[in-house]
């Protein structure tokens, strides 16, 4: 028989648990214990462990035998501390019952308040507090929450009953209802419960408590919790929740009561300034749900200076203790402050950076800790465009700037529509009165979020910020008609599909599309990134085909170009015809003629890119896509081409037909083109080396690296390298210039990885093309999978991550490991990088660090993300990441 | 300075070399040495080693310093044996100079005869033999061959000169020209030489000899030699040739002279009966080239019984010595027999089998040797259809039955046309006056070969037999006009593109297409295959979707079905509509309705297959191809389908459009279908198990194995296996039958191979789908590569073999190795096989044996090939293959 400790007590300055027991007690439980131990006023209670939750699921939803006994023992302890009894008809002790997993999952908190109230104890509470209205209001709230959370009764039944009551009475606010009204409402609520559940609302306080416990454990596998975990990559086990049973304190006992949420620093900007949302005479759920818009904390200071000062003392103590910005929940009951929760405060990327940097300056943390605390994925937000303030957009509303950046998209009014339209490639903005956990998927799919109600700590704000979404909340200027799919702002009506713009930095809502401008980075950011560069050992290059991209990436800290595609250049208006002329040429001579025209264009492109990347390596890839991608498809265009090039229409059509492929991804592309038409490689090698010579002649350092794509056999590379070396020799001798250059290859086919030792005989560098490598390793075409069955695979848990976003370590990663090992067995110091889109994904960057690559390469905007992720990888290796 | 022995002497019953020195002396040189040592009359001479050939290519076409000295020493030895002097103006010793590599390459032999003749020695020869005509004829032959072989002068110049001379004299045959004519012809030949080469024909015998040596070594890298080696998978090094310099003996010294080629047994049937082609008064080249049709050996017996008897004695001695059927070249010079060469005789597959089996019975070799000697690739010939003798085809000619089987195809007249049309998928028959090494590529591309001249040992016959091509030679009934692209047979004119049929067993040529019938196998074959099965440890199954195929494969020795595709069944007329109904269904319900109709059809298919394979395992693969493959494409068909299924045309078109994929090979197919539509897998599993139950109820043993295709993640297999197991449980419980079945998976994606340990958690067997695995590992679509760039890759040496025919060991093979190892690390005795088309390829079978697979599976006709290859693999492992 199990003699495990299932229940941990906290109260009266002492707790069984502590902060380090997060995994066992959940974040909330561990912090309640820690706060208690710190001498902070926390309502006493106890935590049922996450281990019990796992037991519950592993044992067919049953509990350890001795659990109930331990619960009863702990209730007794609380009763002793509080000097009250659970179920006491005169002065009943009431409990809140809350979930709390080891990992914070915003909006996933299940809460039932006022457990212990029944037809009898409610009268005792009324008498004891001398406030029958409060007592009945608490009871009707219990019935509603219990029905909703524990029994799954539709909450609308209760809301409708409440609304009807208000209508009958001709009042607008809940607070306008008096004790008698609420008493009647309780009867109605109990009827609803009986109707829906087929039995009476439970009157035994202990029954209520145990059923609430069941509900909390049961919530781990609710659909929305499962979706949330999937989106955030949290395992079921990590999602196991503890149950926190805690003495009720009341923020709704009148105007000397209230409830609030506070941040020790500003979660939006990071400014070191206390920040709180407070509601007088309200329970905590009212703040978090964002249904009522809270007042500014200054009003609390005015109204209750002692409480305010105590709160400030506590928040400073907590921040110092945890050495990080804290997010607190507190309640004031008839003038007495109670702390209900403290946890690491979620924040914007901007706040992440500012807080980390300022805490180093304040001597609170060291640089490595600062770097470790800024999530790599989020800092891309700092680089995103902002609204051009000179934009003459019509501002139709203002709300709270809850999430960073700016967003433009079509208005939609339900999460479902947001997801559907996003699937079709539309950019949307989700507009709601307020959001709830059911909306998480739709929020994820949207460019931005706009809510009419709620504060900076409402669901929309917390989740939006966490996702890095532009988010404006509490915009009372608008009236949302969700079912009518429209909102009004004054006399303006915005319907589904109308374009809106949001400015998440200032909280403005604008009609139509605004102009966006490039972001500039703060000094804090620059400072942090300097520390990042001191820590990381993995290089970061960028993928770009343009001088502008090269310049931007360089300003973001790119240390070279990892992939410059040469084909995009051919799609420009003035070049495509020449390119097509080359493709449809019937013999080498005609092909060479067209290539001669393309040569100076390519050379000029490369000159500009080399200049932008002066002193840094630039990898240029030879022609990669199947030739038919360049050809026209419509009858009209084909005719035009025939005329332009002076070729018989029927012959041209035959040629186009002959280039058609059943599986172009696996067809005549990559170096297979250069093998079939060596003159193409010749022209490109010439353009690269001639451009390098020209730039070198200006006294600028050029480091060209020519990359051959889609190599599967060593001999392919050998042949292509021969061409490059021959042409380079010619050009350099002719110019009388000495210049170092390299010839290397993409490793983007399984066979290339498996025969990397042979390929390395001819390669001066490797670069993993993880897009193609993923497609071939999985036998899955990205075009055909994404937006089709891939989503089902991820949602169905068949795939743990989208392998086109994060490198699949088991399969693709194994090939990368093999290729690095084999490649370096031939050439010990072989330069190896990655240039697939995965190069900017933090998890992939970590993998690349572990597997010993020299650098990752990613799009310009991902460069800072990759730099930070590279530093994290190094810190993780050294055990310095707190995860 | 090198002191190596470069030159090996043979003559007068003693030789420096022996048979075992084949690698050093080439096949011809080693055999000349061996024959000499056996006391057989061989004209004395010496061999310059293949090592010198390699030296020549490794050292910029120069020779070891002491080579010329060693040559001179050996000339002196020959002079001593023969009592004649090289270059003696009175009685000149003459040499033949011939190539001879370690591996026999038919038609690749470079030969220059009569080396040592010049303006002076020719007169000596004339006087000494008293036959000026012979002397001049020999000299003009030397000039022609030397010019052609050593100098690359176009042979037609000489032939034209000869033809002109005959025309001037009004004669038809070369032999009608007298000594004076030939003397004049020599002057013309020398003029041609001077005109083409810009210098006089070399008069110094030693110069002639050394230049001839250069020509032979140079021939290793002639274009045709390179092509031959590529087709036959011989490395450049293996192709290195020795130079054999041998005293000339003359078959053209009158009617008591002649030359012949003999086989110790019949090379077409294998019958133990001496077989020879002989030409009176001719040189050896006349026989091999097939320009003149030789007489039957009986005539030799009549004309020169002593010579004939001596020849018979020698052939028996040689066969006993070499313990294999020999191919001899001999010359009779004025009544004296000289053996010029002996080597292993090339033969048809039928002869291969018969000779091997009979030699075991004669006690000459053991069973393992017999099995080792029959080439696996060739025995498929024995299984190929023959002409139905009841066919009422018009026989338009008869020739020699030089190659096995029967062929139907369009007549073509050049090797180039044969290759071009074959590329377009046409079946062709190559018709020539005679073939030459330049035609090898075209012969390879043809179904059959027909020549107007030549004997059973002509180039066409030897090469055709070796390739296993149906081949009719020496068909004097036809007159071929190669440049006019037609031939005539009596008054019938057959033009390019007209359909011909050949019967290679009897040598008949027929106009139009004949009916072909299935082959039956000889008793020898059955006996040999019994020995094969005793030796091999690797299992052999078959790939078939039909009961007929299953029966045929079983008769060929298949031990089960390795791959039964279920989709082909759906293409049948009466099923395709139901299948389409299923595909275009908009919801699960409609899909299930259509599937219900398909269920009984599938069940019936499986019943018949299970019955045909009673007692043997049958692997059935669930639906694999992308659904759009089943849909109609033409406007007309789409309309019909809309009507049949009762669906709106526009909606149907949308549906078809939505199923379109950019890269269907990498799209929604394989188990991805079964994941999206579990009801399809459910129906198929039900059909399989219900069929098995029905067959089991008849008291027959059924061993069903359900195979899930295109698994990349273990979870896919887990989900599909759950369905199969659930359905199987239902069906078996309902039927009250106990039945063993397995669920396993194809390993056909790199990711599956790399994660085989995880996949093996849910797989009861693995089967390598090497077609898809090759496509994904190479990133190469077979459809898009074959007939397009793949051929260039193989011909250009970028790929050593066609990876779609022989498993690429380095890449695909490495994945197979990884998967076998990982899979068996999870399940020690995991059943692992291969069901890609590679399963019937002997090299792949050898690989599968080495890598430890349980079985290979291939098409029914390849089953015997795979069995034999599996035995060879075992013998090879034990060092018992003589290669």
Output the pLDDT for position A521.
65
Q: How far apart are CA A312 and CA A308, in angstroms?
A: 6
In three-state secondary structure terms, B866 is: helix
Contacts of B680 (CB under 8 A, 6+ apart): B582, B591, B595, B622, B623, B673, B674
Residue A1 has a pLDDT of: 40
Token pair in block for residue A450 = 């706009």
Q: Which residue in B750, B784, B810 is closest to A662 by CB distance? A: B784
What is the DSSP annotation of A314-380? HHHHHHHHHTS-EEEEEEEETTEEEEEEEEEPP--HHHHHHHHHHHHHTTSS-HHHHHHHS-GGGGG
Which residue has tokens 């999206």? B676
State how far Cα B286 lies from the chain centre. 26
- B interface mutation test: which of A624, A675, A771, A779 has the most B CBs within 10 A? A779
B779 lies within 8 A of chain A by CB: yes
Please tell me if residue B814 touches chain A, with a CB cutoff of 8 Å: yes
Ranges A33-37, A118-122, A223-227, B133-137: which has the least confidence: A223-227
Residue from B709, B751, B817, B821 whose CB has the most chain A CBs within 10 Å, to mutate:
B751
Contact between B845 and B862 under an 8 Å Cβ cutoff? The reply is no
| Distance in angstroms (rounded) separating the CA atoms of residues B132 and B138 | 10
pLDDT attached to residue A291: 62
Across the beta sheet with A258-263, the strand order is: A295-296, A275-280, A258-263, A326-333, A336-344
Compute the count of residue pairs across chains A and B with CB atoms less than 8 Å apart. 164
Provide the 8-state DSSP code for A458: S
CA A233 to CA A217: how far, in whole Å? Answer: 20
Instruction: Count Cβ neighbours within 10 Å for each residue of A398-417 and write b for 16 or more, e otherwise.
Output: bbbbbbbbbbbbbbbbbbeb
Q: What sign results for the dihedral spanned by CA atoms A432, A438, A444, A446?
A: negative
- The yes-or-no verdict on residue A467 having pLDDT over 70 is no
**CB spacing of A755 vs B810 below 8 angstroms:** yes
- Name the most confidently modeled range: A287-296, A372-381, A453-462, B587-596: B587-596
B777 neighbourhood in chain A, CB within 8 Å: 749-751, 754, 776
pLDDT tens column, A842-880 = 999 999 999 999 999 998 878 999 999 999 999 999 999
Looking at beta carbons, which residues of chain A come within 8 Å of B759? Answer: none
Determine whether B835 is an active site residue.
Answer: yes
Rg (CA), chain B: 32
A378, burial (CB in 10 Å: exposed 0-12, middle 13-18, buried 19+): buried
B121 three-class SS: helix
Model pLDDT, residue B673 = 94
Q: pLDDT tens-digit profile of A88-102?
A: 999 999 999 999 998
**Closest residue on chain B to A748 (Cα):** B779
Who has greater pLDDT, B474 or A812?
A812
Q: Residue A432: enclosing H or E segment and its boundaries? A: strand A428-432
- Taking alpha carbons only, the member of A372, A351, A350, A382 closest to residue A861 is A382
Under DSSP, is residue A277 helix (H, G, I), strand (E, B) or coil?
Answer: strand
Among A748, A770, A784, A789, the strongest candidate for a mutation testing the B interface, having the largest count of B CBs within 10 A, is A784
- Return the beta strands (E) in A23-177 as ranges: 45-48, 85-86, 92-93, 95-101, 111-115
Give the CA radius of gyration of chain A. Answer: 32
* Burial (CB count <10 Å: 0-12, 13-18, 19+), residue A308: buried
Count of alpha carbons within 13 angstroms of residue B269, beta-carbon side: 10
Q: Helix, strand, coil: what percent of chain A each, to 5?
A: 50, 20, 30
Q: How far is A412 from chain B (nearest CA, A)?
A: 26
> Which of B676, B777, B812 is the closest to A789 by Cβ?
B676
- C-alpha B784/C-alpha A663 separation (Å) is 7
Sign of the Cα torsion B684, B685, B689, B690 reads: negative
Q: In B636-778, at which residue ranges do the beta strands (DSSP E only) sit?
A: 703-708, 742-747, 765-768
Please compute the mean of the pLDDT values over residues A529-535 and round it to a whole number.
Answer: 97
Low-confidence ranges of chain B (pLDDT < 50): 1-2
Q: Phi-psi category of B233—alpha, beta or left, where left has phi over 0 and alpha has psi -120 to 50?
A: left
Give the residue on A whose Cα is nearest the Cα of B719.
A798
Task: Compute the nearest-CA separation of B816 from chain A (Å).
Answer: 12
Interface check A788 vs B, CB under 8 A: yes
Nearest to B775 among A666, A755, A798 (CB): A666
Q: Which two tokens stand for residue B626?
A: 């992308």
Of B665, B748, B755, the CB nearest to A810: B755
Q: Give the nearest chain A residue to B799 (CA atoms).
A: A713
Contact assessment for residue A672 and residue B781, using Cβ atoms and an 8 Å cutoff: no
Q: Please tell me if residue A787 touches chain B, with a CB cutoff of 8 Å.
A: no
| CA geometry: angle A638, A641, A645, nearest 5 deg | 145
Helix (H, G, I), strand (E, B) or coil at B231: helix
Catalytic residue among B459, B505, B628, B849: B459
What pLDDT does B229 receive? 81
**Closest Cβ–Cβ partner in B710, B755, B799 for A811:** B755
Residue from A424, A666, A771, A791 to probe the interface with B (highest B Cβ count within 10 Å): A666
pLDDT tens, B610-655?
999 999 999 999 999 888 888 887 888 889 888 888 888 888 888 8
- Chain A residues near residue B785 by CB distance under 8 angstroms: 666-668
Determine the pLDDT at residue B718.
Answer: 95
Q: What pLDDT is stored for residue B861 in this prediction?
A: 78
Contact call for residues A277 and A261 (beta carbons, < 8 A): yes
pLDDT 10s digits, B223-282: 778 877 876 778 888 889 999 999 999 887 778 889 998 999 998 889 999 988 888 888
Each residue of B181-210: b (16+ CB within 10 Å) or e? Answer: bbbbbbebbbebbeeeeeeebbeebbebbb
Query: Strand, coil or helix: what is A565?
Result: strand
Average of per-residue pLDDT across A422-435: 90
Confidence at residue A242, expressed as pLDDT on a 0 to 100 scale = 95
- Least confident range of A245-254, A452-461, A829-838, B308-317: A452-461
Q: What is the DSSP string of B137-198?
A: HHHHHHHHHIIIIIT---HHHHHHHHHHHHHHHT--SGGG--HHHHHHHHHHHHHHHHHHHS
Range A329-336 average pLDDT: 91
Query: Collapsing DSSP states into helix, strand and coil, what is residue B118?
Result: coil
**B-chain residue closest to A817, CA distance:** B754
Q: What is the DSSP string of B793-856?
A: HHHTTSSSS-TTTS--TTTHHHHHHHHHHHHHHHSTT-EEEE-SGGGG-HHHHHHHHHTT-SEE
Judged by a CB distance cut-off of 8 A, whether residue A130 touches chain B is no
Instruction: Look at phi and psi of residue A718 and say left if phi exceeds 0, alpha if psi is from -120 to 50, else beta.
Output: alpha
Q: Residue A379: which pLDDT band, with cuts at 50, 70 and 90? A: confident
B716 to chain A, minimum CA–CA distance in Å? Answer: 7
Computed over every residue of chain A, the mean pLDDT equals: 90
Find the mean pLDDT for residues A356-376: 96
| Catalytic residue (choose from A724, A835, A848, A858) | A835
ipTM value > 0.85: no
Please give the model's pTM, rounded to 2 decimal places.
0.78
CA–CA separation, A57 and A638 (whole Å): 64
Whether B93 and B79 have beta carbons less than 8 Å apart is answered as yes
Q: Do B777 and A748 touch (CB under 8 A)?
A: no
B contacts of A720 (beta carbons < 8 Å): none
> How far is residue B250's CA from residue B336's CA, in Å, rounded to a whole number?
10
Q: In what order do the strands lie in the sheet with B326-333?
A: B295-296, B275-280, B258-263, B326-333, B336-344
Nearest-angstrom CA–CA distance, A154 and A159: 9
Residue A754: list chain B partners with CB under 8 A.
777, 810-811, 814-815
Cβ(A629)–Cβ(A667) below 8 Å: no
User: Which H or E run includes B216?
Assistant: helix B205-218
Cβ atoms of B354 and B270 within 8 Å: the answer is yes
Residues 725-764, chain B: which have Cβ within 8 Å of A? 748-751, 754-755, 758
Answer yes or no: do B784 and A810 touch at CB < 8 A: no
Please determine, for residue A629, whether its predicted confidence score (pLDDT) is greater than 90. Answer: no
B785 touches chain A (CB under 8 A): yes
Clarify whether A459 is annotated catalytic.
yes
Tokens of A782: 């990205």
Which one of the listed residues B835, B838, B848, B858 is annotated catalytic? Answer: B835
Q: Kindly identify which residue of chain B lies nearest to residue A814, measuring between CA atoms.
A: B754
The alpha carbon of residue A416 is apart from the nearest alpha carbon of chain B, in Å, by 20
In contact, B838 and B848? CB cutoff 8 Å: no
Q: Which residue of B has its CA nearest to A785?
A: B667
The span from the CA of A797 to the CA of A791, in Å, is 10
Give how far A710 is from chain B: nearest CA, Å.
8
Rounded percentage of chain A residues whose pLDDT exceeds 70 = 96
Flag the least confident range among A639-648, A677-686, A736-745: A639-648
CB–CB of A383/A499 below 8 Å? no
Cβ within 8 Å of B, A 647-706: 661-668, 672, 675-676
Quick check: A797 and B715 CB within 8 A? yes
Distance from CA of A744 to the nearest CA of B (A): 18
pLDDT of residue A250: 85
């Amino acid at each position: 028989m199990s003699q495990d400790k299932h229940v941990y007590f906290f109260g009266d300055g002492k707790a069984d648990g502590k902060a380090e027991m997060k995994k066992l007690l959940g974040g909330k439980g561990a912090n309640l214990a820690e706060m208690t131990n710190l001498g902070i006023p926390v309502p006493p209670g106890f935590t049922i462990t996450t281990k019990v939750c796992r037991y519950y699921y592993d044992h067919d939803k049953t509990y350890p035998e001795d659990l109930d006994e331990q619960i009863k023992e702990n209730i007794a302890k609380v009763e002793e501390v509080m000097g009250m009894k659970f179920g006491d008809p005169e002065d009943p002790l009431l409990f809140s019952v809350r979930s709390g997993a080891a990992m914070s999952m915003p909006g996933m908190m299940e809460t039932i308040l006022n457990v212990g109230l029944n037809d009898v104890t409610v009268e005792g509470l009324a008498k004891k507090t001398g406030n029958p209205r409060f007592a009945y209001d608490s009871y009707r709230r219990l019935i509603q929450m219990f029905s909703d959370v524990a029994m799954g009764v539709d909450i609308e039944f209760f809301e409708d009953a409440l609304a009807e009551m208000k209508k009958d009475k001709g009042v607008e606010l809940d607070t306008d209802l008096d004790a008698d009204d609420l008493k009647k409402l309780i009867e109605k609520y109990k009827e609803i419960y009986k109707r829906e559940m087929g039995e009476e609302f439970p009157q035994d306080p202990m029954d209520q408590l145990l059923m609430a416990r069941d509900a909390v454990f049961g919530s781990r596998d609710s659909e929305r919790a499962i979706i949330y975990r999937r989106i955030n990559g949290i395992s079921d086990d990590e999602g196991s929740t503890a149950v926190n049973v805690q003495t009720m304190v009341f923020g709704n006992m009148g105007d000397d009561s209230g409830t609030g949420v506070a941040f020790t620093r500003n979660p939006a900007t990071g400014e070191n300034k206390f920040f709180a949302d407070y509601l007088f005479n309200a329970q905590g759920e009212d703040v978090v749900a964002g249904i009522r818009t809270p007042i500014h904390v200054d009003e609390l200071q005015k109204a209750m200076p002692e409480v305010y000062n105590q709160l400030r003392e506590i928040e400073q103590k907590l921040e110092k203790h945890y050495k990080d910005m804290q997010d607190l929940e507190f309640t004031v009951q008839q003038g007495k402050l109670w702390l209900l929760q403290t946890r690491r405060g979620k924040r914007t990327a901007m706040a992440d950076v500012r807080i980390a940097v300022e805490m180093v300056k304040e001597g609170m943390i060291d640089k490595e800790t600062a770097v470790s605390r800024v999530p790599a994925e989020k800092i891309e937000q700092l680089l995103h465009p902002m609204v051009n303030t000179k934009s003459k957009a019509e501002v139709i509303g203002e709300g709270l700037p809850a999430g960073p950046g700016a967003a433009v998209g079509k208005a939609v009014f339900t999460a479902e529509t947001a997801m559907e339209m996003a699937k079709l490639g539309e950019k949307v903005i989700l507009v709601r009165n307020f959001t709830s956990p059911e909306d998480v998927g739709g929020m994820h799919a949207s460019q931005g979020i706009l809510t009419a109600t709620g504060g900076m700590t409402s669901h929309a704000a917390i989740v939006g910020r966490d996702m890095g979404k532009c988010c404006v909340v509490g915009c009372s200027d608008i009236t949302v008609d969700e079912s009518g799919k429209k909102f009004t702002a004054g006399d303006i009506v915005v319907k589904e599909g109308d374009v809106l713009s949001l400015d998440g930095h200032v909280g403005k809502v604008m009609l139509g599309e605004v102009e966006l401008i490039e972001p500039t980075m703060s000094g804090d950011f620059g400072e942090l990134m300097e520390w990042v560069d001191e820590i990381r050992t993995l290089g970061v290059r960028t993928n770009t085909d343009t001088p502008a991209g090269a310049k931007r990436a360089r300003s973001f800290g790119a240390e070279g170009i990892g992939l410059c595609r040469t084909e995009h250049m051919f799609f420009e208006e003035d070049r495509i015809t020449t390119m097509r002329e080359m493709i449809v040429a019937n013999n080498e001579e005609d092909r060479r003629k067209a290539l001669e025209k393309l040569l100076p264009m390519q050379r000029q492109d490369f000159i500009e890119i080399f200049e932008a990347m002066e002193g840094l390596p630039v990898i240029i890839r030879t022609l990669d896509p199947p030739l038919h991608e360049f050809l026209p498809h419509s009858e009209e265009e084909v005719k035009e081409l025939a005329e332009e090039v002076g070729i018989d229409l029927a012959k041209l059509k035959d040629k186009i037909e002959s280039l058609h492929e059943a599986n172009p991804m696996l067809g005549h592309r990559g170096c297979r083109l250069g093998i079939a038409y060596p003159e193409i490689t010749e022209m490109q090698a010439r353009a690269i080396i001639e451009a390098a010579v020209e730039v070198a002649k200006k006294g600028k350092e050029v480091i060209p690296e020519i990359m051959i794509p889609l190599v599967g056999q060593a001999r392919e590379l050998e042949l292509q390298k021969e061409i490059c070396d021959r042409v380079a020799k010619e050009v350099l001798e002719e110019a009388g210039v000495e210049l170092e250059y390299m010839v290397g290859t993409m490793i983007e086919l399984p066979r290339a990885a498996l025969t990397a030792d042979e390929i390395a005989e001819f390669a001066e560098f490797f670069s993993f093309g993880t897009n193609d490598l993923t497609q071939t390793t999985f036998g899955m075409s990205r075009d055909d999978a994404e937006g089709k069955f891939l989503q089902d695979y991820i949602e169905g848990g068949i795939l743990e991550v989208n392998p086109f976003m994060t490198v699949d370590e088991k399969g693709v990663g194994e090939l990368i490991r093999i290729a690095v090992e084999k490649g370096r067995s031939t050439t010990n110091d072989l330069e190896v990088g990655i240039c697939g889109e995965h190069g900017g994904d933090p998890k992939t960057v970590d993998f690349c660090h572990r597997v010993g690559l020299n650098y990752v390469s990613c799009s310009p905007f991902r460069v800072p993300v990759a730099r930070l992720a590279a530093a994290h990888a190094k810190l993780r290796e050294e055990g310095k990441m707190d995860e």
